[in-house]
Structure 1
Amino acid sequence: MKILHTSDWHLGVSFEGISREEDHQFFINWLIDTLKEEQIDILIIAGDVFDQPQPSAEAQKIYYQFLFQVSKQTQVKKVIVLGGNHDSPSRLDAPSELLKLLDVFIVGGLNTNTNQLSRYLCPIYNINNEVELVIAVVPYIHEYKLGVRTSFQSEKEIQSNFKQKITEFYFNLAEEAEILAKNAPIMATGHLACVGCESDDAPLEVHMVGTLGGLPNDIFDPRFSYVALGHIHRAYHVENSNAYYCGSPIPLSIKESKTARYVQIVTFQSEKNHKPLIQKIEVPILRNIIEIKGNLEEISNILKNLSWKTAKPPLLAIQISVNTYIPGIDLEIRKNLNHLFFQNTPLIAYIRQIPILNNDSKKEYTEVVSLKDLTTEQVFIKMCESQNQIVDNDLLKAFRSLLNEENI
């Protein structure tokens, strides 16, 4: 049995106001072809299907058309969709009964009653109606849903409590999955930050314990032969475990454009104790995001020699070092680009003029930062500072708790 593991599509996302819809459609066309060529049996989308809890009509159209294409054009037996921290659990779950007709199994979020484990277990049957695999479908889990309270507790206490609760949840799922599976293998999913992640591997911290680093690898019951994870946008194996991240399939930031994008194919043997074969497949990219820095002359030379190997020209993020502000430079750069590349012109995401500061001007200059360059937490801190409010760890902890509750 062959499973394709993907995650973090973020349908509806934009980069500096430029829609990534065309990039997503390019990936989806490739994915449909790959599902057919590789004869994939199960497809897993491990959370953050959408970029916003209330996705645009265009983003939803891409999602539903894709599920219909999988049903009609491939041999995939089951599509597994789980909610991420960017998704609305209720919005994902709403059409789940209807999508069962297309063999789509959806778990948008965790119920408050975590004892109802059957909701999270998806058995896969062969042509003889025998179970050949059981998947424990675990979406993004807010601490609150597991009974973890953050008030009047230290970060260490929160982390310890959350680790205990989520470990118990995966253990209980493994117990139930084994009963269903009999002698067949079992696997699980998740949408969380685990050890090995870096601070900018995902758009925002997914848990209160994120400030202390990722969750430990021993939260996953070892009986799960493979754990398909989402949330981190970089592909890597969680050390000393059966858990893997496949990363985002299109580059969503400058950093992500510097590394290859992947999906992962997992091949299970029929025997329960055999380890699955794991294969990373590189995803072709429609276009990258390139950051260009330097003075005006250096920028001009870089643009003259700009080339790319992708199907479409890149998105450009340009930072020009200047002594004083140069009016009209944006228009001049855009005209030069059109002249250099004609109809195959790279799109400019932004052009920013960065002052060259000497020792005297450093004291006087305060960089003006756009709101869209700041996280929600950074905006909160700046607002507090403007009101002469001291921002301590307790205040930040309370704010993060409120922020995370938006996704409950």
Structure 2
Amino acid sequence: MKILHTSDWHLGATFEGIGREEDHKYFLSWLIPFLKEQEIVVLIISGDLFDQSQPSAEAQKIYYQFLLSVSQNTKVQKVIIVGGNHDSPTRLDAPAELLKLLDVFIVGGISFEGKNLDRYLCPIKNAENVVELVVVAVPFIHEYKLGIRTSFQNENEIYSLFKEKIQKFYFDLAEAAENIAHGAPIVATGHMACCGSELDDAPQEIHMIGTMGGLPSTIFDSRFSYIALGHIHRAYRVEQSNAYYSGSPIPLSIKESNFPRYVQIISYEKGSKAKTVQKFEVPVFRKIIEVKSNLEEINNVLLNISWQTPMSPILAITVQVNGYRSGLDLELKNLLSNKFQENSPLIAYVRQVPAKSENVIAKNNETFSLKELTAEQVFLKMCDTYNEIVDENLLQAFRSLLNEENI
């Protein structure tokens, strides 16, 4: 039996206002034949299916067309979808009964009313109606849902309590799953930040314990032979455990575009709990490329840029200038369109930052007391810190505000 693990699609996402619909369509048009070729039986999507809790009509259309295509064009017996912190639990759960007709099993969010653990259990049976696998579908869990209140506790207390509560939840689920597995492998899901993640591996922190670091792999019961995790956009194994992140399948940021994107396949031999885990690189439709330099070098880079992806890259451009240059973004766009005409690279943004000389850098390293500086000097230093170009118009606007404050 083969299971494919993916997560963090973020359908409907944009990069600096540029829609990623075509990137997602390209990924999904690759995934459908890949599922068939690899003879995948179970597809797991571990949260953040959508980028927004209220996804666009186009994002939802892509989602439903994909599920229909899986049903019609592959041998997948079950699609398991759990909600992430970006997803609306109720929106995911709303069509769950209807989507059962396409063999889709959805758990949008958790509820402890009655503690009905069966809601999270999805047994996979063979033609003889024998259970060959049990998937424990756990979505994103906010600490509030576990009864944790953070108002009168310090970080260490919150961390310990959250770890204890979530470990107990996974233990109870493992007990319930074992009762119906009858010796078959048990796979779980999760959407959280575990040990090994870095600050920019995910779009945002999702727990109050974020400043304490990720959760340890010890929260997962040892009876789970694989834990399919979501939230972190980089593919890695958590502390040599059975917990794995598959990462996002399309690059959603500059950093993500510098590394390959993956899906993971977990294979079980018939009648065995032994597994193999393989990463498969996802072909990328287009990359996000950061370009930082002075204007002369940037012009040279843009005129000589090349790519191996089907679509031209998205460019994030930062130009070092001595003074603000009006219309520079249009100038660079025209340069690209004249050079490439069709399939020209897209410019996400053009940011202008001060070109710093060695004297300026040395001067910036000096320390001052606020008492030694005027309000205007503080303003100029703040602008310099945030790479904000200060021209005469901005300075005049600040002086006007300062004068109004002193009236």
**TM-score, length-scaled by structure 1:** 0.88
Equivalent pair of 1:15/1:253 in contact (CA under 8 Å): yes
Structure 2: distance between partners of 1:116 and 1:188: 17
Structure 2: distance between partners of 1:282 and 1:79: 21
Structure 2: distance between partners of 1:51 and 1:334: 28
Residue identity matched to 2:382: T
Structure 2: distance between partners of 1:217 and 1:28: 31
For 1:366, the equivalent position in structure 2 comes to 382
For 1:354, the equivalent position in structure 2 comes to 353
For 2:18, the equivalent position in structure 1 comes to 18
**TM-score, length-scaled by structure 2:** 0.88
Structure 2: distance between partners of 1:201 and 1:309: 25
Equivalent pair of 1:222/1:241 in contact (CA under 8 Å): no
Equivalent pair of 1:114/1:146 in contact (CA under 8 Å): no
How far the C-alpha of 1:206 sits from its partner, in A, is: 1.3
SS of the aligned residue for 2:342 comes to helix
> Are 1:270 and 2:270 an aligned pair?
yes
For 2:284, the equivalent position in structure 1 comes to 285
Structure 2: distance between partners of 1:360 and 1:327: 29
Structure 1: distance between partners of 2:284 and 2:340: 20
Residue identity matched to 1:21: E
SS of the aligned residue for 1:351 comes to strand
For 1:239, the equivalent position in structure 2 comes to 239
Identity over aligned pairs, percent: 63
Structure 1: distance between partners of 2:348 and 2:328: 15
Structure 1: distance between partners of 2:286 and 2:57: 24
For 2:59, the equivalent position in structure 1 comes to 59
For 1:37, the equivalent position in structure 2 comes to 37
Q: CA offsets, 1:5-51, max 9 Å, x none?
A: 00000000000000000000000000001011111100000000000
Q: CA offsets, 1:295-351, max 9 Å, x none?
A: 011101111221111011100000000010011222211111111111121000000
For 2:112, the equivalent position in structure 1 comes to 112
**Unmatched tracts of structure 1, length 5 or more:** 371-408
Structure 1: distance between partners of 2:179 and 2:55: 38
Structure 2: distance between partners of 1:180 and 1:16: 48
SS of the aligned residue for 2:382 comes to coil
How far the C-alpha of 1:287 sits from its partner, in A, is: 0.1
Who wins on radius of gyration, i.e. which is larger? 2
SS of the aligned residue for 1:128 comes to coil
Structure 2: distance between partners of 1:316 and 1:262: 23
Aligned residue pairs total 369
SS of the aligned residue for 1:270 comes to coil
Structure 2: distance between partners of 1:264 and 1:55: 26
For 1:326, the equivalent position in structure 2 comes to 325
Q: CA RMSD in A?
A: 1.5
How far the C-alpha of 1:269 sits from its partner, in A, is: 2.1
Equivalent pair of 1:317/1:350 in contact (CA under 8 Å): yes
How far the C-alpha of 1:155 sits from its partner, in A, is: 0.5
Equivalent pair of 1:184/1:270 in contact (CA under 8 Å): no
The residue correspondences of 1:114-133 to structure 2 (distance < 5 A) are 115-133=115-133
SS of the aligned residue for 2:5 comes to strand
Equivalent pair of 1:132/1:184 in contact (CA under 8 Å): yes
